[in-house]
Amino acid sequence: MPVMHFLLMPIRTNKQGVQINVGKDGDEYKTIVSTMTMHPEDMMELGVVSGATIRVRTEIGEAEFQCKEANVPRGMLFVPYGPPTCQLMGGDTDGTGMPTSKGWDVEVEVVEPTPPQLLP
């Protein structure tokens, strides 16, 4: 499977914000913050379908996400902030008190090209 490079943009979403207030321990919150959106042509080039598992690496760390097709610019990935994005983020704040949290150059590889099949 190929390894591709992208620009990752962690974001805030309404659903993520609601779930923060409900609780971060629920399955819905975990699904929201571990689902990454990608342009359909990028997914095809990478060799994955919606629901596939991808591994994203920065120079700091790595995390796995479920990949989902979306209307986003080619070459860019979007995912709501959460524990998985924290694994990719360094602690350097350049004196601002907030680590750099957008525009990360990332390497992406396929873990599972298709979603796991549910047993009957």
Lowest mean pLDDT among 11-15, 32-36, 63-67, 69-73: 11-15
In a domain, 84, yes or no: yes
Per-residue exposure over 10-39, b if at least 16 CB sit within 10 Å of its own CB, e if not? beeeeebeebbeeeeeeeebeebbbbbbbb
In a domain, 117, yes or no: no
In a domain, 92, yes or no: yes
pLDDT (mean) for 27-50: 92
In a domain, 104, yes or no: yes
The residue segments making up the domain with residue 31 are 3-112
Per-residue pLDDT tens over the stretch 69-102:
999 999 999 999 888 988 888 777 677 776 677 7
Beta bridge partners of 38: 69
Mean pLDDT of the residues in the chain: 84
Number of domains forming the structure of the chain: 1
In a domain, 120, yes or no: no
Write down the pLDDT at residue 119.
45
Structure tokens at 38: 């990608």
In a domain, 18, yes or no: yes
**CATH at 61:** 2.40.40.20
